[in-house]
Amino acid sequence: MLTASLLSSTLADDVTSILPICETAKLLVSTAAGDVLVYAFEGHTLKLSHTYSHLLKRNDTDTVINHLLYSDQLSTVFAICEKSIVLLNSTNLNQFDKIVDKRGIQQAWVLEKCSESCHTTTALLYRSKKASSLKLFLWKDRTFNSVLEVNLSSKDEVVMSAEMDRSGFIIATNRGTYQWKLNNTHLNIIEKIVSPTYPHSIHDAIKEMESHKFRSGKTSEPIASSSESILSRKMSFRQFFKSHEANGELQNKKLVFQPASQPHLRMMDGKQKKIYELIVNDSKLTYMSVRDGHGFFEANSGFDCMQYLSSKFLLLNNKKSVRIVDYEFGFPYLDLQVEEGIKKVYQMPNSTLLVWTCEDNLQIYRVFITDESDASSDEAAYQELENLGMSLTMKKIIFCEAILYPHDRVALCESFECDDLEETLDLYALKLRDLNVLWSLSCFERCQKCFEQVPRDPNLVRRLSKLQGFVIKGIFEIFIKFLAPPELVICYCFTEFMPDALQDGMLRDTSVFNNEPIEEVPTQYIIKWCIPYLTDTRRVLYNLACGKKVEWKLEDREIKVGISFFQINHGQELDVSMLLKMVDTTLFNVYLKFNPSMIGPFTRVKNSCDFETVEKQLLKHKRIQELVDFYYQRGEHELALKLLIGLESQIKSEHQSDVANDIKTVVVEYIKKLPEQESDTIFKYTKWLIEKFPEDKDFVISSVFMNFSPNCSRYNFINAYDFIDDFDKSLSLKYLEFVIDAFKTTQKKVYMNLIQRYLENIHDEKNARKLEALLRSTDCYEPRTVLRLFQNFIDSDESNNGVDRLVKRLKVYPLKIMGEHAQSLAILVEDLSNYNLASAYCYDVYITDADTGLSLFSKLLDKLIKKATHNDGDFKNVLKFLREHGPRLDSIETLKKLPADMKLKDLNQILSKEIEASSNRRYTSRMERNLLQVALVDKTYQLNNELTKYCIIGEAQRCYVCHKHLKCSTGETLLMYDTPSSELVTHYNCGKSMEQLLQAKKGNRHRVWGDLLK
């Protein structure tokens, strides 16, 4: 997975310490003579750029540097000497400060931590030689803050590692682990150590389950889950394990570090062979969560030193070799042999390692990610997986995760030479998906194999059950996170729930399946962990089927996926509809067995279940309601109604009539849910209900056709009317009234049918009132057709004088719609002699159209005068008209029309009112004119106030926006702005640019001046 090549080797005599400074690409080397050599990186080699001879010659006799440390925040090099620490500028190594401790300096650390408020704390921590104490110097950002000192328990206590967290420092010694909180003057030993109820990972849980030897005569050999080629053939990695000599010093070491991918500090304890996680709880108390680390330390027991590298990796070395391992399991990823021996190893930029050899050579090695692919890689990987079990796959998973982790990826990937890094990372993400899915399937099988024989010890059974839940939870969370292919997961984990129609052509002939059945997962784990995978996969597949964009998110990567992302490479690709059918049918079967309460909701929503499977299972379990819902969702309404109708013969009861009534109600409710497209089915089974239950005809028709459901509002009203009319005339009339009242339909055929039905029984006073109200309130009918119907009725034998007058009055409404107002007035005045109706008619037209209304008023007056003349001078209606509508007409024209023989005393009151109205109009006009004059005076006053304001511009006056001098010439236009604090003068263009900002403030206004200097 990783390999290293030697780039360069540089000889440096009598080296005492080395300090790589990554930010400036420099390497500082101190010698026993007190010199400091500065090397610069040129390509892959080191070039000596400067030598500082006897750098610390002013430091009395303490001139030899034992150790070099660096602070990036302070840009300071800390030179650790025998009894002093010299602070040097990292640019030119000038000394600017010094810390002297006559007790001597044994160890020193420089630690830096960035807080949530983006402030960086820098700490210099050192251990005195002749005193059992630790001294601390703190800087906040670049400002010195404080100095503290605490005592250790004894002089023999050795500090093995130190690290900073947000609350202070964690210090690991040979006696214990301490927390040193900031601003405290004492160490708090961390005594609380907890062992988690569940293992650290699925890997550990499987190992614990298999460690219990409760299967008689059987071994716990790992069983391979699948060939890697089943999911992906994009990459393969070289796997190697090399043995190393044992008895290293790692068993006596402790290392505290902050993993880039974890929120809490970790501590590797070689003596106890434990791995600790240091956790701060809500009460700010720190405790350690421990897990077994024997595997890590035994696999790497031949090494002497360890340090944190990056991501999930540690850097180990002994006197002859260097190894990169992960801190979780200790899997090796790089083994590097150094012939000259090793004094110390340093991490360098650009994925390089600096090895300080025993011969004082500085060797630079570059670390590469290797990728070897060949035609037989899939078969070879399968054999490795079968021989090495889960460890090989787990190793690959950890490696891919480390490459993809966004916050520390550069430590491994910056040297990965490729044309497109982002594309390569996407491929690694796909590889990680494949590995996780295969590894999870293997874990699932191994977990279930542990229950082939149940142990007798009840405590062991409970423990195994908890571990099983932990493993299954983790496995299906991985399936959800990585969008595992449903075909593979279902065929492997839900074998008994696969739809029968889809089992042919599945993965039965591949190595992922065993002939031996896998133990069933307990119900609570199926409901809690397995079902969510099916529902989430179902959601994603439905989005694909609808053409929506689907992206798979992993860490900071977003990969657009299509249907091929979920298909298995076995020669018979399933399209999205088949995958949905598989997932939905499996989910149905799982619900049916483990969570029956979800069957109803599932069958009522859109699904792609196998029709025959669902129908067969629901009939078998006698879940009639769910089957009816399923039929409805699939549009199989005939089958649903036949099923409901046939229930009467299947249900035997002492009260058979009650059963029949219940079935009637159920059938009616189902028909009510049918859309308009199923009108034939609606009419067919409504007719069956009417014939089956003739005494409930009104109930059936009213329930089906006269309800307020959306489906009922979308029916073809005329077809429904014709259907109802065949059974009951009164119900069909009621249906027409219901449709108009409830759904506010504007279909003219509906109104015409209702008008015709009212007209057929117009002798009924109630129907006559309804007909007039309908004609008066709407225009959603054919007026000419209505007029023809009225005329035919008048000409028919059914007509009589009273009805004729009613029909003539009703003719006015369609005439009004047609705009035939003259005919309407003729009917109202001449035929019916009804002044009130004629007046109201003209007024309605006047409200809608004033001009037409005035014309009608004039015509009405003419007709009234003419009729009064023929009636021996009875001007009663004429006088009434003048009182009501006279002010709307021109007075002079109206007086001209009046007959000469009309008595003046009859007009006295009318004329008085007209004179009074004219005077009121004149008075109102005079008042409006006076108010406008007052407003004019006020505006003139405001204008004068504005015009009297001025601004004196001096030679030093500058534009508020561009800050250029304002020219004192009379030809330039300037803008002056009033702000709450002062008046601002700007150039015209500058003022326009800031106008929007000023107008947003309260009271802002500006004035344009032609010349402010006049």
Strands 1005-1009 and 974-978: antiparallel
- The phi and psi torsions of 269 (rounded to 5 degrees) equal -115, 105
Confidence of residue 479 (pLDDT cuts 50, 70, 90): very high
Instruction: Report how far Cα 870 is from the mean position of its chain's Cα atoms.
Output: 86
Q: Listing from the earlier edge strand, what are the strands of the sheet with 352-357? A: 2-11, 361-369, 352-357, 342-348
Region 243-260 average pLDDT: 78
By the 8 A CB rule, do 543 and 551 touch? no
**Under 8 Å CB-to-CB from 450, ≥6 apart: which residues?**
209, 210, 212, 215, 220, 464, 468
Confidence of residue 306 (pLDDT cuts 50, 70, 90): very high
Please, what sign has the CA dihedral across residues 248, 254, 258, 259?
Answer: positive
Confidence of residue 235 (pLDDT cuts 50, 70, 90): very low
248, 258, 405, 406: which is closest to 327 by C-alpha?
A: 258
- Residue type for 824, please? S
From CA 505, how far away is CA 503, in angstroms rounded?
6
Region 987-1009 average pLDDT: 65
By the 8 A CB rule, do 201 and 413 touch? no
pLDDT digits 0-9 by tens, 100-149: 999 999 999 999 988 777 788 999 999 998 888 999 999 998 899 899 99
- 226 has a pLDDT exceeding 60: no
- 381 has a pLDDT exceeding 90: no
Q: What's residue 504's pLDDT?
A: 56
Q: What's residue 416's pLDDT?
A: 54
- 1011 has a pLDDT exceeding 60: no
Confidence of residue 870 (pLDDT cuts 50, 70, 90): confident
Please, what sign has the CA dihedral across residues 742, 743, 746, 749?
Answer: negative
- The phi and psi torsions of 184 (rounded to 5 degrees) equal -95, 150
666, 661, 737, 670: which is closest to 706 by C-alpha?
A: 737
- 797 has a pLDDT exceeding 80: no
- 371 has a pLDDT exceeding 70: no
Confidence of residue 247 (pLDDT cuts 50, 70, 90): low
Q: Quick one: what percent of the chain has pLDDT higher than 90?
A: 45
> Percentage helix, strand, coil, to 5, in the chain?
45, 20, 35
Q: What's residue 877's pLDDT?
A: 85
Among 60-69, 310-319, 862-871, name the one with the lowest average pLDDT.
862-871
**Domain architecture of the chain: domains with CATH:** 2-191 (2.130.10.10), 199-238+373-481 (no CATH), 240-337 (no CATH), 483-620 (no CATH), 951-1009 (no CATH)
From CA 177, how far away is CA 255, in angstroms rounded?
11
Q: What's residue 771's pLDDT?
A: 93
